[in-house]
Chain A
């Protein structure tokens, strides 16, 4: 056990509501910025979101088209694998259910999301459907800032937040599960914070 520092508490919130904080997490009022590379700058007129099905067929939306789709506002807790959790965060975006609604071949059951800048993350298709995931473009009532993933990011709050890919530009559906960026460096393939699935083998 390390040497205890007299009088040190840190910035975390100590009065977290019971049952809201997964094991090993602490609650913060901040919104830390973590990244693996430079923040991409994507002009909205160039932004595209593309879903590719297992046969290679593509469906694409421009920013104007995307933001015309039915949108939802959700308030969720988010949990980062680096141990901070942020409660009651409010996002506005398009549900993956809406994007996958008409005719996209869902065979296979796996999806790899990719982002401007090269980041990727993999999820089971059933974890981004049924009201569990959104492509979010507003945070806390304001347009999502670039450092937090704007113009748009994936939001999958029931899994560790590295799965909520920033600067998302598309998703590829497949019948094979390919590990994404952090998954390929040893993070857990699924990432359930309530089972503390941080690393491969957990």
Chain B
């Protein structure tokens, strides 16, 4: 797979604050496609018309964030679970 243009989920740290109101990059999520568990900061990030997060194990799209006129639209495409810490 050709990954030359992806960033890490850590690059969306500020955006996560806008959307979720807190630091999220250290939190773990489970990919619904392959079952891999990784911190959101480790996701492969493609920034286009919206921000696309892909599983760093299988490359599937796990989350898409679009900033629109009303705020943010978050699509939880393939997240089986998201674990928050204290």
What residues make up the interface of A, taking CB atoms closer than 8 Å to B? 33-41, 80-82, 147, 162, 182, 185-187, 198-202
Q: Which B residues are within 8 Å of any A CB, using their own CB? A: 1-6, 46-50, 52, 54, 59, 61, 64, 66, 68-69, 73, 75
Given A185-B73, A199-B69, A202-B69, A38–B3 Cβ distance below 8 Å? yes
CA distance A198 to B75 in the complex (A): 18
Return B11 CB to nearest CB of chain A, in Å: 15
Q: Which residue of B lies closest to A82 (CB)?
A: B49
* Residue pair A185, B64 in contact (C-beta under 8 Å): yes
User: How far apart are the CA atoms of A34 and B66 in the complex, in Å?
Assistant: 14
**B49 x A187 contact (CB < 8 A):** yes
Q: What CA separation (Å) do A201 and B59 show in the bound complex?
A: 31
Among B1, B3, B48, B73, contact of A36 (Cβ-Cβ < 8 Å)? B48
Determine the chain A residues whose CB is within 8 A of the CB of B52 once the complex forms.
36-37
Given A185-B64, A185-B66, A187-B66 in contact, is the A39-B5 Cβ separation under 8 Å? yes
Given A81-B49, A182-B49, A187-B49: A38 touches B68 (CB 8 Å cut-off):
no
Residue from B47, B50, B59, B61 with most neighbouring chain A CB atoms (10 Å): B50
Which residue of the partner chain, among B2, B47, B73, contacts A38 with CB atoms under 8 Å? B2
Kindly state the separation between the CA atoms of A187 and B64 in the bound complex, as whole angstroms: 12
Q: Knowing A162-B49, A185-B75, A186-B73 touch, does A40 contact B66 (C-beta < 8 A)?
A: no
From B61, B68, B75, name the one whose CB has the most chain A CB atoms within 10 angstroms. Answer: B68
Alpha-carbon separation in the docked complex, A34 to B1 (Å): 17
CB distance from A151 to the nearest CB of B (A): 15
State whether B2 touches A41 (Cβ < 8 A): yes
On whether A147 and B2 interact (CB within 8 A), knowing A37-B46, A37-B52, A199-B68, the answer reads no
List 5 interface pairs A-B (beta carbons < 8 Å), by A numbering: A35-B46, A36-B49, A38-B1, A147-B5, A162-B49
Name the distance in Å between B75's Cβ and chain A's nearest Cβ: 5
CB distance from B59 to the nearest CB of A (A): 7
Closest Cβ of chain A: how far from B42's Cβ, in Å? 16
Contacts of B6 in A (CB 8 A): 38
Instruction: List the A residue with the shortest CB-CB distance to B47.
Output: A34
Chain B residues near A162 (CB, 8 Å)?
48-49
Question: CA of A162 to CA of B50 in the docked complex: distance in angstroms?
Answer: 11
Instruction: Specify which chain B residues have a CB less than 8 angstroms from the CB of A182 in the assembled complex.
Output: 49-50, 66
